[in-house]
Every structure is written in structure tokens, then in C-alpha cells.
Structure 1
Amino acid sequence: MDWNAVALAGGHVFVAGPRWTGFSGPAVALLTKNGKIEPFPDADWSGWKPRRDATHRFVSVNALHVAPDGTLWVVDTGTPSFGGVPVSGGAKLVRIDPATGHVLRIYPLGPEIAQAGSYIDDIRFNGMHAYLTDAGKAALIVLDIKTGQARRVLDNDASTRARTDRPIVMDGHVVENGLHRPLLVNVDPLEVSPDGKWLYFGPLEGPWSQVPTAFLDDPNVSSTDLSAAVQPWADLPPLGGSVMDAAGNLYFTNLKDNGVYRRDVSGKITKLISDSRLHWADAPCLALNGRLWLPVAQLDRLPMFHQGHSRSHQPFLLVSIDLR
């Protein structure tokens, strides 16, 4: 199982990985105290196959995140292949009680939201709204948690599109999605400011922008006015993932040097650690005890990026680092 997501909820550790990596294993798993991996919430949710109903099964999970109320949210891209079309009923958000495994609600993301070429990537929360990134079709998605209604905003905006002049460099080489075709990942990481007033976001390759959440939350704000409200925030390098603490410090993984960095509220960036084992450390999770959990995905070493030859170093690692 190649995991690129980790979440700590209800006293448990959960991991997940996308289907397109080619590895078998549960789409979402609970790590037991004796080191075993158990499908979560059950085996049927991880049992999707082509032509099977996808509304109550995970097709390809890209992110896990714990909402402020302690519930576990699963982001299902609905796309079984990298860059593929979401299958019918596949793209969705699943809200689960982490203690019992009870599925509390499913939020379908229909074809008008998860479009052909979409890759629903990650999620953050602010009051009764959730924000998601579409790393495939370059847009933000705003979800009304109560009604379940979703809207695409900043569609193909300059702030959500990957720039060709900022390639992803790892092991001294540009990561390519095809021969001489640099991998471009549109808007991917995102964070909400501790006061809930700003959303920070950017392509995987950077840079990051900021926009007032009040503009995102109001469906009457025009696309022109919303785009005009976007401001530069931070010139960050290509990164695997990020997490923001309650004080507004941003922790992120720098793909180029296998490093973990902190950007404080003044904008100062400090390297915390660099280790070859943290190769494409993906979306981190910050525990209440101050430990940073990192799933090490090694995504650039997958066969699809090396003419069919895997360069992954197994086993895949889940690492925690004491930041105190």
C-alpha cells in the first residue's frame, strides 16, 4: 500500500492511498496497535471494481482530514486512473465517525463539479463551509456543509493554474509525466488562517495566493470580483503537502531536498529536518502532542513517471517527528 494521506482521529491512526499508484490494499485503513492494517470503515468500502456501484465505495482516495468536530472526511477523486475521467458516483466526500466507523454523510460531487480531467485533491474547513482544490482542472470548490451544495470558483484562474517555469525537481531531475513533458499539478495545497478570514492556496509548484473566505462563501460574488480579490501570499517551492497550526505557522515538505520546513506568521522560513527517507513526504498531519506525522509516498518514483519501471523503495514509510 502506497499511502499519501494520514489522519489522527478518535484515538486512531488512519492512512489512505490512491488507486492509480497500482498498489493493492485498502483504500482507507486503520492502523491497529499491533501493526496491522484494517480496511476502514469496512472491506466493502474498499471493494470497488470497474462496473461496480461507486456511490458507497472508495474509487481512489487522495486525502484524509479531520474536521473541527472530530469527524474524519475522506476525499474520493472518483478517478481510478491518473488523469482519467471520474466514474459515475465516484467523486465524493465521505464523513465518518472515526470511533465507530459509522458513515455519517456522503457528499456527491457531480459531473458539473468533478469534471472530465478533474482531480479533487484536498480539503479544509471554515465554519459551515469546506474548501477543496481541483489539481486537474484548476479550480477551488466551495462546499456548503449543511446543504451539500458545491460550487466551482476561480476556474482556470492564474492563481489556480500550474506555471511551466516552476518544474518539480527531485533527485536532480525534473519530474516528467511523459517523455520531455514536465509534470504540472494545478492548485493542490490549501490552508485556512486561524481566524478563518483567509484561504491560502496554490499549485503544487507554487507560488501561493490568498483570498478572503467571505468572498468565497458568498455565491453572489462574481467570478471577476473574486479573481480581483486574490492576492499573493507566499513564494513557496514545489511541496508534497502542508499543515497549519493554531498560531498560523505553516509546516510543509520541500520536494527538492526531502526537507520539512516551517513558515512562521512573519514569513520567516526555517528548515526543521532533511532526510533522504522523506522522499516525496506527502500531506502531513499535526498531532495535539506536537508530533508531525508524514506519509512518505515516493510518488515520483512510480512506473508511470519512469517509462514503466518502478524506482520505489519499499516498504513505504509513515514517519512522525517531534517538533517541540
Structure 2
Amino acid sequence: MPLPSNIRAVMSRSALATILFAGLGVTSSSAWAVHMPKVPELSASALEPFTQSDKQVWDAVVMLPDGRAVLEAPIWVGNTGPQLSVRQTDGSFAPYPDAAWNAEQGDPSQRIVSTAGMTLLADGTLWVLDSGVPNHKADAVAPAKLIQIDTKQNKVVRVLPIEASALHKESIVSGVAVHGNTAYVADSGVAGVLVIDLPSASARRFLDRHPAISATRPITTPTGPVTTADGHLLAIDSSMIAVSPDGKWIVLQPPGGYLSRVETTIFTDPDVTPAAMEESVTQWYKTPSLGGMTMGPDGTLYWSDISTGSILSYTIGRIPRRLITDPRLKWPATPGLDASGHLYVPAAQLNHTAAFQNGKASVEWPVTVYKLTLPTTPPPT
């Protein structure tokens, strides 16, 4: 988550181009695997509106087993109102888990200050990441934290502050994945991965400023690279992260970067050397600019491609698929899966929000979450 986390002009167009061309000679061959097909498999009829808003920009959705949807409306892009909402099966909305946790004022340890990602576990636990940074051009106003919600009871059962020792002053946590008793959190303010032991709440930082998860490429939409108000290219460090169903691997990347894979045992190996840690990151696929990703229970990755308005997938066997390309998918963001073969994708239009438009939003209302019926057939040969 979601996409993004900080918005920074890190270099000029010419400087960035120099870095990109210089890096072409050192790209890992493992990243090439199979090229992404150019022709989508599904027609426009496979994509239908699921829900809409005329006042909030949603950048992530989680589908609960009972058919409800939890929607994230991050404050940093200019949203007002609840940062987490639940869409009931009758189509009505309510703050989630309740109004108090979505209050704009009050004890920051007892409310969502700046939602920055969420992940649902098989037992119905929803982990919500709060960066504590409601304005990504300013410092944090509250400590970062993880919020554990029991979606069956619709109540917060634990608040876990993230240790400040694992963060930098410029850190903006922005993506969370959980397996067993471990949470993996991406830092998009200063590239890195936080590994958090949930029972003890202890956090350790790894891959600090690692080039594979740092912003070195522009974020590109169908109309071209996204820039700041002064014309500089935007860059966001690692903000998307997922963990494999068996817990053996994490995958992560910046929105404009490439997908990297890391074996999780490296984080608990007492004998690992700094050099081995640096070399543990494998470039796993040369993705386009992404607005979000999620991993299915079989390990398949689903990507929202903002450069072409497409939904892509990537199997554990490293087979890429272009599922659909559709002009309605304007900056598709973090998708969510249900148990019936559907993917739910917010067309977030983030590049038209106030955060990307020097305070003057140009969002085309309503913002729509689309429901995509996934193919049941194997990829074309």
C-alpha cells in the first residue's frame, strides 16, 4: 500500500536516465524468466464495477470471507472521513472497525493516524499498518504501529508499536505481510525491511538502503512519468511486500522498481555476514510500474500495472500473464482476492489526488473498485 509512502524528487530526468542505462549491463539474468505477454487474455466483460465513492480515493481492498469488503482511504493523498471503511453485503458503509478508531483527533495510540497497508490472515485476523505520517512531505506526528483486528468480532485486539530503533527519521512504513508470528514491513521513506516478532514486539531492520529496493526508476503512467510540482521525477522506495504461503520467501519492490525475492531464513541466521545479507536479494521479475500487489493462497502474485492500466499475474513457476488491459483502470492500486475466483481492484487515480497535484486534486469521480473474474484456464502457450 499500498502504494506509496513518500513522495520525493530524488534526481533530475537526465541523472535518472544515466543511472538506468548504466544499470542495464548488470541486471541479473534471473529477472528475465519469461517475458510478459502483450495481448491480454480477458475481454472487458470480465471487469465490472463492484462499488464506488464520490468522495474518497481508495487505494487498497481486502475481501472478508463473509462477503464484506474493507477499503483503505489513506489520509496522505487528501482523503477525509474514515481511513478504513467496511462495505457490508447490502452495499452500505461504516467506519472500520468503528468510528472511534477513525477519529481525526485523540490519543494516537487508540486511533488510525495514517493508514499505510493491510493484510488478511486465514483465521480472519486483519493487520493494519499505521505509518504515523499523515503528510508525506512532513515528519511523523505519531509512532508507527501495527493494529490487529478480529474481523469476526470487528474489534481491535492488539496495538503493537514499531520500535523506533528500527526506523530512520525519514522512514514511512508502507506495506505489511504476516506469516505465523512474524510481520514483514516495507519502508518507503528510507528503503529497508523491518522484521517484527509479533509475540515480543521486537523489530529489526534489514537491507537498509539496499539498491534493489530503492527508487531508481520513474513511476510511469500511460501519459508518461509522474513528476512533482516543480517538474522533478517522483521516486518512492520499497512500498510493496508479500510473503509466500509457506513463509520461506518475501517479495518486495518500489512502485517504479523491479520485483525482488529474499529467503526469510536470512533474517534469523546468526552466522550471516553483511556481504551475504546484501547478496541475498534476487531480482525476480522486471515488472512495470506497479500500484499494488497481492499474493494468492497458491503463491500466485497479482500486480496492478499503472503504466498500461493492466492486471498481471505471476505464478510460483514464474509464468507471467497479462489478464486484462482496460482504460477504466486508472492507476489500479492494491487488489484483494475472494475465495470464489475474483480479484477486486481500486482504480485509485492517485496521480490525480492532491498529494500528486500540488494540493489541487483532479480526480474523476466516482472512484470505482472493479471486480475481475479470473481465468480458470492455464496460461496460453
Fold equivalence (TM over 0.5): yes
How many Å apart are 1:134 and its aligned residue?
A: 0.6
Given candidates 292, 302, 312, the residue that maps to 1:241 is: 292
**How far apart are the structure 2 equivalents of 1:113 and 1:27?**
25
CA distance in 1, matches of 2:63, 2:324: 22
Q: Specify which of 224, 232, 249 is matched with residue 181 of structure 1.
A: 232
Segment of structure 1 superposing worse, 10-19 or 73-82: 10-19
CA deviation string 1:79-121 (max 9, x = no partner):
01024322233x1110011121221111102432343222211
1:158 match: 211
- Separation in 2, partners of 1:307, 1:57: 28
Task: Assess, with a 3 A threshold, how the Cα gap between structure 1 residues 171 and 228 changes in structure 2: closer, same or farther.
Answer: closer
Q: CA contact under 8 A between 1:281 and 1:296: conserved in structure 2?
A: yes
1:115 aligns with 2:171: no
Aligned to 1:53: 107
Query: Matches of 1:293 and 1:217 in 2, distance apart?
Result: 35
Greater relative contact order (Cα < 8 A, sep 6+): 2
Residue 169 (structure 1) shift: 1.7
- 1:290 pairs, out of 326, 336, 341, with 341
Q: For 2:370 and 2:257, locate their aligned partners in 1 and report how far apart those are by CA, in whole Å.
A: 25
Identity of aligned pairs, percent? 31
In 1, Cα distance between the equivalents of 2:131 and 2:250? 21
Which residue of 1 is the match for residue 51 of structure 2? Answer: none
| TM-score, normalised relative to structure 2 | 0.79
TM-score by length of 1: 0.92
CA RMSD of aligned residues (A): 1.8
Query: Considering only CA atoms, is the larger Rg found in Structure 1 or Structure 2?
Result: 2
1:219 is displaced (CA, Å) by: 6.2
Q: What is the DSSP-based 3-state SS (H/G/I as helix, E as strand, rest coil) of the residue aligned with 2:355?
A: helix
Q: Which amino acid aligns with 2:125?
A: T
Measured in 1, the distance between the counterparts of 2:108 and 2:218 equals: 35
Q: Displacement, 1:296?
A: 2.0
Q: Which residue of 2 aligns with 1:304?
A: 355
Q: Please say if residues 86 and 115 of structure 1, whose CA atoms lie closer than 8 Å, have aligned partners that are also in contact.
A: no
Q: Which residue of 1 aligns with 2:48?
A: none
Which of these residues, 133, 156, 173, is aligned with residue 79 of structure 1? 133
Q: Which has the higher helix share?
A: 2
Alignment correspondent of 1:6: 61
Count of residues paired in the alignment: 319
The answer to whether the 8 Å contact 1:83/1:118 transfers is no
- Which stretches in structure 1 are left out of the alignment for 5+ residues? none
Pairwise CA distance, 1:225? 2.7
1:82 aligned partner, one-letter code? H
Give the match's secondary structure for 1:187.
coil
What residue number does 2:117 align with?
Answer: 63
Correspondent of 2:92 among 36, 39, 43: 36
**Segments ≥4 residues shifted beyond 3 Å:** 217-224
How big is the shift at 1:259? Answer: 0.4
Per-residue deviation at 1:141? 0.7
* In structure 2, distance between residues paired with 1:219 and 1:67: 29
Partner Cα distance (2:281, 2:342) in 1:
33
Q: Deviations over 1:16-37 (max 9, x none)?
A: 1211222212111111233222
